[in-house]
Amino acid sequence: MSATVDPLPAAPTDRPGPGEVPEPDPGDRHLRRRRRERLLAAALLAPSALVFAVFVFYPFARNIYLSLYSTPPFPNLPSRFVGLSQYSQVLGSHNFLNSLWVTALFVVYTVPAGLLAGLLLALLAHQKLKGIRVFRTVFASPVATSVAVASVIFFTLLNPQVGLFTYWLGQQNQLSVLDNPTWALVAVSVVTVWQNIGLSFILMSAGLQAVPDELLEACEIDGAKGWARLRHVVVPLLSPTIFFAVVVGTILSLQSFGQIDLLTQGGPLQRTNLLVYNIYDQVFNQNNEGRAAVMAIALFFITLVLALVQIRLLERRVTYGN
């Protein structure tokens, strides 16, 4: 090692020496860098911002605009600004309230049932058995089936002449369940539950996989089996997954459309006229964009409030482990 120590680099001086180019001010450099970073950030955000603007922000703004104008009864007449009065008219109407009630029933019929069925199948598929992979694939398969396909399958199964279900129920050559005001919503709910089982099963399976084997073994030694183990250990540990499934399931149910369009078109007697179908009906069958826009905004707020309430309520009871 050399005995002399290299001198430290000299501290920058404020005054430039003779013949030197003045150093840029460090604050100035900082500013320029920040500006450059902002530009980069904007450039990176631009594509998604554009997509959102075209497909979300503009339609949303346009929807609010439409909701304030009453649609004329005949085409080519000017629409008239009516402000919030259209809201009170639509939101108080029998048509809307019926839709709201039907949608609420639909959520109640489909979300808990889909969740329970998914959990049950996930518990079954979690066993260490030979060939269980085949069952896992089968249980998850509804997720790969489109609403249209699912609806057509059930439409055929429920057909009064050739349907297998009608045959089993001994209802051949009678009114289709889908045309029965009492049972139509239940029938549509069954299709939806079947359709949702795939997603629910995958979510619950993933949740179950995350429960450490050691904990289940500790249960076995502590003496908790079957129902006790499920209730005291498995379900609490699954609670974050269940919570997620409830929120997502509710939102999906509120937005259901395809099965209604294909199976019942909102009938019979509007008993399956879910909100989204009603909105569609208002625009494309009744040609009333204004009414549809008001309902769309109502649905938006209902979804928002429900999601917030669920997050508040459920988060308190959710265990997130370590």
Partner 1 sequence: MGQVALRGVSKHFGAVEAVRDFDLEVEDQEFLVLLGPSGCGKSTVLRIIAGLEDPDRGTVVIGDRAVNDVEPKDRDIAMVFQNYALYPHMTVGRNIDFPLKCRGMPKPERAGLVASAAEALGLTTLLDRRPAQLSGGQRQRVALARAIVRRPQVFLMDEPLSNLDAKLRVQTRTELIELQRRLTTTFVYVTHDQIEGMTMADRLAVMNEGALEQVAPPAEVYAHPASLFVARFIGSPPMNTVTGTPARLDGELGIGTSGGQIPLSPAQRQAVEASAATTIAVGMRPERLTIGTTGPLPATVAVVESLGAEHHVICRLTDDQEVIVRIGTDAAVPEEGAAVRLDFGVEHLHLFDATTGDRIGR
Positions touching partner 1 (CB under 8 A) are 212, 214-215, 217-218, 220-225, 228, 232-233, 236-237, 239, 319, 321-322
* Identity of the residue, 37 or 222, whose beta carbon is nearer to partner 1 in the bound complex: 222
> Can you read off the two tokens belonging to residue 66?
């439409």
Cβ closest to partner 1, residue 112 vs residue 212: 212
E strands, the chain, where? Answer: 69-70, 80-81
Helix/strand/coil percentages in the chain, nearest 5: 70, 0, 30
Least spacing, CB of residue 210 vs partner 1, in Å: 11
DSSP state of 146: -
Write down the least CB distance from residue 221 to partner 1, Å.
5
Concatenated DSSP letters of 66-102: HHTEEPPSSTTSPPEE-TTHHHHHHHTSHHHHHHHHH
Residue 48 or 127: the one with the smaller Cβ distance to partner 1 is 127
CB 95 within 8 A of CB 278: yes
CB atoms < 10 A from the CB of 7, how many? 6
Give the nearest distance from C-beta 128 to partner 1 in angstroms: 12
Name the residue nearer to partner 1 (CB basis): 236 or 267: 236
**Do 216 and 233 form a contact (C-beta atoms < 8 A)?**
yes
Q: How far is the CB of 208 from partner 1 (least distance, A)?
A: 15
User: Toward partner 1, which CB reaches closer, 29 or 231?
Assistant: 231
Closer to partner 1 by CB, 242 or 254: give it.
242
Retrieve residue 187's tokens.
Answer: 């029938």
User: Strands 69-70 and 80-81, how do they pair?
Assistant: antiparallel
- CB 123 → partner 1: shortest distance, Å? 18
CB of 235 to partner 1, least distance (A): 10
